[in-house]
Amino acid sequence: MLDKLTDRKRKTKLAILILVFMTLCFAAIFLFVGLTEKNIHFYLPRRLERVGAVLLVSYCIGSSSVVFQTITNNRILTPSVMGLDSLYMFIQTVVVFFFGSRQIAMMTGQVNFLISVGAMVFASWVLFFLLFKGEGKNVYFLVLAGMILGSFFSGLSTFMQVLLDPNEFLVLQGKMFASFSNINNDLLGLCVLIVGICILITIKDYSSLDVLSLGVDHGINLGISYKGLVLRNLMVISVLISVSTVLVGPITFLGILLVSLARQIVPTYKHSILITVSTLLGCLSLLGGLLMIERIFKYETTISVVINFVGGIYFIYLMLKESKK
Amino acid sequence: MISIKNISKKYGEKHVVDHVDLDIPKGKIIAFIGSNGAGKSTLISIISRTLSKNSGEVYIDEKELKEWKSKELSKRLSILKQSNYLNIRLTIKELVSFGRFPYSNGKLTKEDEKIVDDAISYMKLEDLQDRYLDELSGGQRQMAYIAMIIAQDTEYVFLDEPLNNLDMRHSVHIMKIIRKLVDDLGKTVMVVIHDINFVSCYADYIVAMKDGKIVEEGATENILKSNVLKEVYGMDIGIHQINGKNICLYYD
C-alpha cells in the first residue's frame, strides 16, 4: 500500500527533472543559436540578461499565483484580479498625461522603477491594512475591493489616453505590453535583490501554507497564525507582482496558466513543489514565446499576444472542464 | 481546565452568545444541546479561537486565549467543525498526517508516523488509507477527519455535530471512539449533538443552551428530565427507561 505514495513521489521528482532539462535546453537554444565569434561579445551578455529576467519573472508570477490561490482558497483566481496591472498603467498614463512622453523616456531607469513599484506596493499595503483591521472582513472582501479599484484605475487611464496626443499615446503604448527586449541592466540587479528578500521572508511559510490549503478553520486548529500568515504573504505577493510588472510589463495573466498546468503535472498540495514547477513552466513558456517571436515571427508580434492567446484558449478549456465536475 | 467568563458574540444587534459563563469539567464527554440557533456552535468556535469574540475571556489551563501561541495551543486543543469541504485532493493518510503539523511542522519523524498509523487503525481505516477523500462516503470521510484529530493528540477535543448526516452504524462507532478517548486516554471531549438519545447513552455532562444563554448544566441524569427538556426545546418529550437507559420519545 505504501508503494502508491512513494510512486507518486518518484513521479514528481521525474517531472521536475524533465522540466529542468527542458528549461536548460530552451535556455541553451536561446543563448547560443546564431552566435558567432564576432557577435558573441554583443549578443551573449544581452541574452543572458533576458534569461535572468525570464527566471525572475517566472518565479514572481508562479509563486505569487500559487500562494494567492491558497489564501483565497480558489483555483481560478490570480493576483491580477487585485488590479495591480491597472494601477501600473494608471501611473504610466498619469506621467505621460501631465509631464509628457519626454519625461517618461527620461524616467526609464531606477527612478521610474522605484516610483512605480513604490506606488503599487504602497497602495496595496494600505488596502490590506485597512481591510484586515475591520471585524468580519475576509480575503474575499479584499479581492472584491481590489477588483473594483482595478477597474476604476483602468477606466481613468482609458479616459486620459483618449485625451492624449497620438504621438504621446504611441510612447505610452510601448508600456502596455510585456517586453523582454529592453530590460535595464541596473534594474535587474535591484529586482534580484528585492525578490531574494521576498524568498527569504516566505520560504519558511510554505509548510504553514500547505496546512492553510485545508481551509481556514483546519489551519487555525492546526496552529497557524492565520492573520499574520495571510497578511505577510499578501504583502510579498504585491511586491513580487509589482516588480515583475514594472520590469517587463503587465504579464500576470500567465499566472493562471502556470499554476493550473503545475497542478496537473504534479498533483500535490506542497507549496515548495508547486512553486518550483510553476517557476519552471514559466521559464519554459516565456523562453518558448521569446524564441517564437524572435526567430519565427521576426518581432512582428509581442510576447503578450502569444501568451494571452495560448492562455486564453487554456482558460476556456479549464472553465469547460470545471463546469463538468 | 477550560473556563469561560462573560463571553458575548454579536452579529449586528443580535446576541448569538449572550454573556455566558461556564466551567468545563475535565475527563468527561460534555454534550452541548439546544435547538438550531441556540449558539452552541458559536460558543465552541469562540473557545477554540476559530471565531473572534466581542467581549469576555476564555481561559485554557489558566491562560487566556490571547496569551497562548497558536501553535502551542494546537497541541492542547483541537476542533473539528461541521462542514469540511476540501479544495485539494488528499488521501486519508495525508490528511491524518496533517494532524501532526503542530509537532513536526510538516516534516514527519518516525514517532509522528507511528502516531499517524495508530490513529488510522484506531478508526479502522487501514484498508482505505491510500484512497482519496473525494472517493469516500460521507461516513468514511468523517472517520478520516476524526483520525486527524486523534493524531493531533490534544487534551481537549471539540467536535461540532460529528454525527451530522451519518447512519446509525457510523454514529455508534464514532460515539464509542469518543467514549474510548475519554475513558482510556483521559481526554476531555466537548461535542455538539442533536440526537438527544446519543447524549443520554454516551455523555457524562450536559450543557443546555437557548437563545445564546446557558439554561441548564449538570450531570446527564439531572438534565435529561421532561421539565428541563421542555424548557430547552419548547416541546413535550417523554422519557422512558429501556434496558437501563433513558430514552427520549418525541416523535408525535
List pLDDT tens digits, range B167-208: 999 999 999 999 999 999 999 999 999 999 999 999 999 999
CB B134 within 8 A of CB B157: no
Counting residues of chain A whose pLDDT is more than 90, the rounded percentage is 29
CB within 8 A of A307, min separation 6: which ones? Answer: A178, A251, A253, A254, A257, A285, A286, A289
Contact B74 A207 (CB under 8 A): no
Strands B238-242 and B77-80: unpaired
State the Cα–Cα distance between residues A111 and A72, nearest whole angstrom: 34
Residue A136 is predicted with a pLDDT of 57
Place of cell 504610466: A92
Mutate to test the interface with B, among A68, A221, A226, A274 (most CBs of B within 10 A): A221
Sequence ranges of the domains in chain B: 77-153
Q: Does A225 touch chain B (CB under 8 A)?
A: yes
Rg of chain B over all Cα atoms, to the nearest angstrom: 18
**Would you place residue B219 in the very low, low, confident or very high pLDDT band (cuts 50, 70, 90)?**
very high
Q: What b/e sequence results for A177-187 when a residue is b if at least 16 CB atoms lie within 10 Å of its CB, and e otherwise?
A: bbbbeebbeeb
CB contact under 8 A, A217 and B94: no
Residue A103 binned pLDDT confidence (cut-offs 50, 70, 90):
low
Average pLDDT, chain A: 84
- To the nearest whole Å, the CA of A240 is away from the closest chain B CA by 25
Nearest-Cα distance to chain B for A16, in Å, is 20
The residue of chain A nearest to residue B100, with distances taken between CA atoms, is: A222
**The three grid cell numbers given for residue A55, joined into one nine-digit string:** 527566471
| A10-26: average pLDDT | 92
Q: Binning pLDDT at 50, 70 and 90, where does residue A108 land?
A: low
B172: nearest Cα among B148, B150, B193, B189: B193
Task: Evaluate whether A101 touches A168 at the Cβ level (below 8 Å).
Answer: yes
pLDDT of residue A45: 85
A215 interfacial to chain B (CB closer than 8 Å)? yes
Identity of the residue numbered B106: G
CB A251 within 8 A of CB A61: yes
User: Looking at the predicted structure, is the pLDDT value of residue B113 above 90?
Assistant: yes
* A216 vs B: CB within 8 A: yes
- Decide which of A278 and A307 is more confident: A278
Please state, in angstroms and rounded to a whole number, the distance separating the CA atoms of residues B146 and B161: 12
Pick among 3.60.20.10, 1.10.3720.10, 1.10.3470.10, 3.40.470.10: CATH of A18-29+41-324 = 1.10.3470.10
Q: Which of A116, A141, A69, A155 is nearest to A243 (CA)?
A: A116
- The percentage of chain B sitting over the pLDDT mark of 90, rounded to a whole number, equals 63
Nearest to A251 by CA among A153, A192, A178: A178
Residue B252 grid coordinates? 408525535
Contact status of A267 with chain B (Cβ, < 8 Å): yes
Sequence-separated (6 or more) residues with CB below 8 Å from residue A179: A248, A249, A302, A303
DSSP state for residue B98 in the 8-state scheme: H
**Structure confidence at residue A1 (pLDDT):** 47
**Closest alpha carbon within chain A to B71:** A223
Q: Which residues, 6+ apart, have CB-to-CB distance to A324 below 8 Å?
A: none
**What would the mean pLDDT of B110-132 be, rounded to a whole number?**
92
The answer to whether residue A228 neighbours chain B at the CB level (below 8 Å) is no
Span A127-142, mean pLDDT? 73
Which of A4, A210, A225 shows the shortest C-beta gap to B70?
A225
Would the CB atoms of A222 and B74 count as touching at under 8 Å?
yes
pLDDT at B9 over 80: yes
Question: Is A221 exposed, middle or buried (CB count within 10 Å of its CB: 0-12, 13-18, 19+)?
Answer: buried
- Determine the average pLDDT of the residues in A152-169: 89
Of A10-19, A85-94, A218-227, B177-186, the least confident: A85-94
Is it the case that residue B119 has pLDDT exceeding 90? yes
Q: Residue B242 burial (CB < 10 Å; 0-12/13-18/19+)? A: exposed
Return the residue matching grid coordinates 488521501: B91
Least confident of A302-316, B29-43, B119-133: A302-316
Q: Which residues of A touch B89 (CB under 8 A)?
A: 267, 269
A269 vs B85, B88, B99: nearest CB = B88
A1 interaction partners in chain B (CB closer than 8 Å): 129-130
Distance CA B32, CA B232 (A): 11
CB atoms within 10 A of CB A228: 12
CB nearest to A1's CB, from B49, B102, B130? B130
For residues B120-150, b (16+ Cβ closer than 10 Å) or e, as one string?
bebbebeebbbbebeebeebbbbbbbbbbbb
Contact B130 A211 (CB under 8 A): no
- Longest CA–CA separation in chain B, Å: 55
The answer to whether the pTM exceeds 0.95 is: no
A295: number of CA atoms within 13 Å, CB side?
12
For residues B188 and B218, the answer to whether their CB atoms sit within 8 Å is no
* Integer Cα distance of A223 and B72 in angstroms: 7
Q: What is the mean pLDDT of residues B89-105?
A: 92
- Minimal Cα distance from A214: which residue of B? B86
Q: What is the DSSP letter of A203?
A: G
Domain boundaries, chain A: 18-29+41-324
Mutate to test the interface with A, among B92, B101, B129, B142 (most CBs of A within 10 A): B101
Helix (H, G, I), strand (E, B) or coil at A100: coil
Which residue of chain A comes nearest to B98, CA vs CA?
A211
pLDDT at A183 over 80: no
Backbone angles phi, psi at A253, to 5 degrees: -60, -30
Amino acid identity of B61?
A: D
pLDDT for A279: 95
Strands (E) in chain B, as ranges, are 2-11, 14-24, 29-33, 55-60, 63-64, 77-80, 156-160, 188-192, 205-210, 213-219, 238-242, 245-249
CB of A76 within 8 Å of a chain B CB? The answer is no
- At A275, the pLDDT band (50, 70, 90 cuts) reads very high
Residues B100, B71: Cα–Cα separation, whole Å: 11
